[in-house]
Amino acid sequence: MTAFPSPNFGERRGGLRPSLVVIHYTAMASCAEARARLCDPGAEVSAHWLIDRDGRTEQLVDEALRAWHAGAGEWAGQGDVNSRSIGVELQNTGTEPFPEPQIAALERLLLGILDRWDIRPQGVIGHSDMAPARKADPGPRFDWHRLALQGLSVWPAAAAPGVFRADLRRFGYPLADDATLLAAFRRRFRPSATGPQEATDAALAADLAARFGIDGPAVQA
């Protein structure tokens, strides 16, 4: 691992510590281009980690500090995701597959992060999960199932269908219109699905809510 420290960070607010990992793609042509932006004080964006296509992993911000990667959004009914998360950028234009060396490096990195901060697998989310109305990364080509098989994220089985919108809210998704929620859910859990919501969508959402859901105000549809 190499370090190219970014100046774009601050203290985590309110004594918060990381309980989430947010995975992004850079949407840029090269890792060098992405690094330059993430380390540019004028851009006012950053991430804790940047992983190139060949697996080279660079730390840009200390994990104990608040990087500026998530932007507006929420997860599990709480905002200021930057103060509650560690951001990982994967070099990818958004239209290409993620190479094996890059995903293997991500898996190694996640193992360490989850151990260091005692983060549960359901705390590993995509940028599009916490900001579904404005973000699509890491996109439908990202293999969430592979991470789940190693205990680095979660994957649903079918359960008795419930109320799709309420179950996604209980899992952690923010309030959004039905079409936006369906697109975000499918991007992660059913990337090949198209068309209107189906019983399978509701069955998988019900399992996410039952096994990994949160309590309190966030369950409200």
Catalytic residues: 89
Residues with Cβ within 8 Å of 46's Cβ and at least 6 positions away in sequence, in order, are 6, 8, 9, 38, 39, 60, 61, 67, 68, 69, 87
Q: Which residue has the tokens 């969430």?
A: 144
Relative to beta strand 9-10, strand 57-59 is unpaired
**47 vs 6, 12, 176, CA distance in Å?**
8, 14, 26
Q: How many CB atoms lie within 10 A of CB 45?
A: 17
Q: Which residue has the tokens 């964006």?
A: 45
